[in-house]
Amino acid sequence: MSFLAPAWLWLLILPALLLFFQARSGEERWTATLELWLRLRTVRPSRQVRWRLSTRMIPLPAALACVLVALAGPVWRTHASEWRVYVDARPRMWLVEQGRTRLEHALDSCSAWLERHGASARWYVDGREVARGPRLDTSQVPMVRRRGASFDAPDVEGVLWVVDELPTGVVRHAGVHVAPRSAQAGPVDRTSLGEQWWSGEVVELRPMAGAAPRVELDTQLPRPLQDLVHAWALSRGLDHDPNASGELVMRVRNHAAPGWVQVAEGAVELGPMPPAASVGGDAAAAYALRIGEALDAARLEPTGCVPVSGRAGAGSSYVVEPARQANSSNRDLAPLWLVLAILLLVMAVRHEL
Amino acid sequence: MSAELSTQVHFAPEFLRRLGLRIEKLRAQGLLRYTSQPSDLSPASGGKLRGLTAGYELDRIRVWRSGDDPRQVDWAATLRSGETMVRVVRGESAPECTLVLDASLSMAVGQPTKLQRAAELAAWLAAYLLELGGRVHVVVHGASVQVHTASSRAQLSGLLVAFQGIRPAGRWSAAELANSIPQRGHVWVIGDYMSIDPWASNGALCTRRTRGGLRALLVLAPEERDPQQGAVLWRDPEDRRASVAHIDSALQAKYNAELSSELDKRASALRQMRGQLVVVTSDGAWDEQCVLLDGAL
């Protein structure tokens, strides 16, 4: 159980004081036989009090305590106020700002926020859970190098985003931790034509120092598919020569099932061309387009390359608070405490009458 | 902290139902009602009549007949006339009973209060006496002295209403008690009177004699009869004096002995006045306590 307004709990000193004074004075009762007690000579003067805690003294201070606890906003967190944090892990997050990566800046901000709220989190990268706990180390974050990858995260209650820019559109429910982002000149892409370099204002084409990035093809791949991949690699400025020495940005594997297409990070599995596509015409064109899209989606960014959209400056870091603090798994316990307070109050009144 | 002492007498519907049941039971038993007709005091009219009537009035003197009780022989008349003469008596027109009810602040002690139980038992006494054709006076000693009278069954409800208006207040003294006790008829003194000793040898009532008989109903609160162990700040409701007692088993035993001694003293003093003491606690069973009173009537 935790409290939304724990400051009220300081007032618990009041029922404690009430109980203290009651116990100090002992229980006061009326009697018409006081003379008998005095005659026994064993009673003490009223100033010399003895301590005594009676069950009759409990209900009133307990009722007061329950009211104060209710005011403090007790909630039962069935999942310990667990937030879902979606981390943008594209290469742009590894660009360095003031000596630390953008990812480190945003993760620190998010972790501090979670600790301040006494909450834990489940961390997601590219739609997959990578860790649980109040903190996430950058070593636990796999870089998402797919060239076509975008940051996708739900805008719902109980969700936080860790990014280097506020996505377009209005964020209604999620909290956002935005890393600082200055304009960073550097490579945007590498192809057989050369290296595209963003100077901070324009993109320049520079001659490449090394070999062009390459595609690795499975030798078992059917011939028509090999031709298709070769054509795609040529159009993207990638080297498909088996003896090429450039950086590997794509692997194409063979699969037994006809028409099979499966995309992974830097890898695509392709099955034999289905009979419908073998006859040519629109079906063949559609199939080729589909294969091209799959290869584009799986291709990795060359090391160090970040698109212009990730290199342009956007300003310093900031935090967008989530619309609601409490996770939907919280259960409000205040009514329960109030009912308990009423019951105790009734008990106290019955004792007094 | 103790509750404020302000609870007034209240007769719950359940109590009135039980009172009605007891009255019906009394009627079903066919108890003898008082009569102003002459009686020969035959054995059939004994027990109950003898206990309740304050005395008998002489109706006439006649010649002894076979079967007459030898105790009825009037020896003086026999000597004068030369024949054995017997006295024929009749009961008094109706028994007269005064219920003196202590409504001082000390009667507000207990749960239920001593005053509540005292009023409930007084209601039963009044109902019983009215059923027997008697006349009942109720003298309430509270903040002031109030007197209520009922002389027929129909007036019982009026008495009950009067009881329900009683609120504990003030304190009573032995002198006030003595003044409120009439010289004739039965008298029931109902209260706690633990702070006064009205029947002690030097008490205010030691010379007070009632012609009918004096009975006392002493009501104790549960904590007065059987105090629980622990530290308690005792406070007297009438003079507000207070004392702290740490009650352990030894002190509990001493208190019980002291209380028994006090009650014995009061009972003994009453016996010397041909009276009787009945002690009850305010949380006891009302029906059982009524049976105790029936025995003392």
| Polymer length in residues for chain A | 353
- CB within 8 Å: B234 and A26: no
Q: How far B276 CA lies from chain A's nearest CA (Å)?
A: 21
> Residue A11 CB: number of other CB atoms within 10 A?
16
Tell whether B4 is covered by a domain: no
Give the distance, in angstroms, between the CA of residue B213 and the centroid of all CA atoms in the same chain.
10
CB-CB neighbors (< 8 A) of B233 in chain A: 25-29, 46, 49
Region for B82 from its dihedrals, namely left if φ exceeds 0, alpha if ψ lies in -120 to 50, beta otherwise: left
Task: Pull the structure tokens for residue A29.
Answer: 């009762």
Residues B226 and B83 occupy one common structural domain: no
Assign A25 a pLDDT band (cuts: 50, 70, 90): low
Q: So what's the pLDDT on residue B241?
A: 80
Residues B65 and B121 occupy one common structural domain: no
**To probe the interface with A, which of B102, B232, B238, B261 has the most A CB atoms within 10 Å?**
B232
Q: So what's the pLDDT on residue B115?
A: 93
Distance CA B270, CA B254 (A): 24
Start-to-end C-alpha separation, chain A: 35
CB-CB neighbors (< 8 A) of B249 in chain A: none
Residues B189 and B137 occupy one common structural domain: yes
User: What is the ipTM score, two decimals?
Assistant: 0.71
A215 beta partners: A250
Q: Taking the model in full, what pTM does it have?
A: 0.47
CB-CB neighbors (< 8 A) of B168 in chain A: none
Number of structural domains chain B divides into = 2
**A55 in contact with B, Cβ within 8 Å:** no
Distance CA A134, CA A308 (A): 33
Q: How far A36 CA lies from chain B's nearest CA (Å)?
A: 7
Q: So what's the pLDDT on residue B51?
A: 40
Tell me the residue range of the domain where B18 lies: 13-28+94-296
Residues B100 and B174 occupy one common structural domain: yes
CB-CB neighbors (< 8 A) of B234 in chain A: 29-31, 34, 37, 43
Q: So what's the pLDDT on residue B52?
A: 45
Name the 3-class secondary structure at A131. Answer: strand
- Listed residues B91, B107, B127: the one ending a domain: B91
Average pLDDT over residues B30-58: 44
Residues B139 and B280 occupy one common structural domain: yes
- CB within 8 Å: B231 and A52: yes
Q: Does the bond joining A207 to the residue before it have cis omega, within 30 degrees of 0? A: no
Q: So what's the pLDDT on residue B73?
A: 86
Instruction: Pick the most confident of A126-140, B69-83, B238-252.
Output: A126-140
The residue in chain A having the minimum alpha-carbon distance to the alpha carbon of residue B105 is: A32
Tell whether B70 is covered by a domain: yes
Whether residue A321 contacts residue A176, with contact meaning beta carbons closer than 8 Å, is answered with no
pLDDT in tens, A184-193: 999 998 888 8
Half-sphere exposure of A167 (CA within 13 A, CB side): 20
- CB within 8 Å: B242 and A48: no
pLDDT in tens, A61-82: 999 999 999 999 888 765 557 8
Percent of chain A with pLDDT over 90: 30
Return the H-helix or E-strand segment holding A249.
strand A248-254
Instruction: Look up the CATH number of the domain holding residue B176.
Output: 3.40.50.410
Residues B70 and B104 occupy one common structural domain: no
> Residue B127 CB: number of other CB atoms within 10 A?
22
Residues 6+ apart with CB under 8 A from A243: none
Q: So what's the pLDDT on residue B47?
A: 34
Residues B279 and B214 occupy one common structural domain: yes
Assign B38 a pLDDT band (cuts: 50, 70, 90): very low
- CB within 8 Å: B1 and A37: no
Average pLDDT over residues A264-283: 84
Residues B149 and B290 occupy one common structural domain: yes
Residues B183 and B63 occupy one common structural domain: no
Instruction: Pick the most confident of A256-270, B52-66, B114-128.
Output: B114-128
What DSSP character marks residue A11?
G
Residues B190 and B55 occupy one common structural domain: no
Distance CA B278, CA B293 (A): 7
**A219 in contact with B, Cβ within 8 Å:** no
Tell whether B197 is covered by a domain: yes
Q: So what's the pLDDT on residue B209?
A: 54
Can you point out the beta strands (E) in B201-293? 213-220, 230-235, 242-247, 276-281
The residue in chain B having the minimum alpha-carbon distance to the alpha carbon of residue A353 is: B3
Tell whether B6 is covered by a domain: no
Distance CA A156, CA A323 (A): 9
CB-CB neighbors (< 8 A) of B221 in chain A: 31-32
Interface A-B: count of C-beta contacts within 8 A: 107
Distance CA B188, CA B186 (A): 7
**To probe the interface with B, which of A37, A40, A58, A351 has the most B CB atoms within 10 Å?**
A37
Residues B19 and B144 occupy one common structural domain: yes
Tell me the three-class secondary structure of B242-262, residue by residue: EEEEEECHHHHHHHHHHHHHH
- CB within 8 Å: A29 and B234: yes
Backbone angles phi, psi at B229, to 5 degrees: -75, 155
Distance CA B162, CA B114 (A): 17
Q: So what's the pLDDT on residue B50?
A: 38
Residues B73 and B127 occupy one common structural domain: no
Q: So what's the pLDDT on residue B11?
A: 92
Q: So what's the pLDDT on residue A100?
A: 93
Whether residue A88 contacts residue A107, with contact meaning beta carbons closer than 8 Å, is answered with no
Distance CA A98, CA A139 (A): 19
Distance CA A100, CA A116 (A): 23
Domain boundaries in chain A?
Answer: 2-75+333-352, 82-183+313-328, 212-273+289-298
- CB within 8 Å: B245 and A42: yes
Q: How far A336 CA lies from chain B's nearest CA (Å)?
A: 28
Q: So what's the pLDDT on residue B5?
A: 64
Task: Pull the structure tokens for residue A89.
Answer: 């892990």
